[in-house]
Amino acid sequence: MQTTLISNAHFALRPLRAADAAQLFSAIDASRAEISQWQSWCGPDYHLEHAAQYATDGEANWEAGTEYSFTAVCKQTSQMLAMVSLNHIRRDHQFCNLGYWTRTSHVGRGIASQISLAAARFAFQTLSMARVEIVAEVNHLASQRVARKIGAREEGIARSRLLYHGEPRDAMLFSLISSDLL
């Protein structure tokens, strides 16, 4: 498992580990109202056991090469500030999805764009991906701002691309290719 992708004065971006379950749950719980607007899994019944399973699965997925999840951890407090994942990996066509969220108390500080850019570089340089996609609901303007800030190109609206509690929602599709990051 690779170590740190980013290390600056404020946080380090490193792979998610099973030992991170409590910190992961704390960050999600503190941001539940915001995350639950966009993610069905983050409802009132999301508990520590779910975070523990995700963190444990994260290590196994990393080893299997099926998903790569990273967490941004505050250097001063050890608090989890944000997450970014590369998932839905299609090695046959060399592309994957990039998803991210930031702890509510740290939104607006540029963390999401920094970690997303680092994860995209990891996808191109380490995983040899040709394309990274970002799929953001049409009303999720903050997520779209992050995509644009890191240089992703808007490709259009994908109708009924995402499900939220079983209901289809339209999404903006963005992409990055390695030359976008030069």
CB of 167 closer than 8 Å to CB of 126: no
Q: Report pLDDT digits (tens) over 15-67.
A: 999 999 999 999 999 999 898 889 988 888 999 999 999 999 999 999 999 99
CATH of domain 6-181: 3.40.630.30
- Of the candidates 159, 92, 157, the residue with the CA atom closest to the CA atom of residue 131: 92
Domain ranges of the chain: 6-181
Distance of CA 83 to the CA centre of its chain: 5
Q: Report pLDDT digits (tens) over 125-152.
A: 999 999 999 999 999 999 999 999 999 9
113 phi and psi, to 5 degrees? Answer: -70, -40
Helix or strand holding residue 28 (H, E)? helix 21-30
Helix or strand holding residue 117 (H, E)? helix 111-125
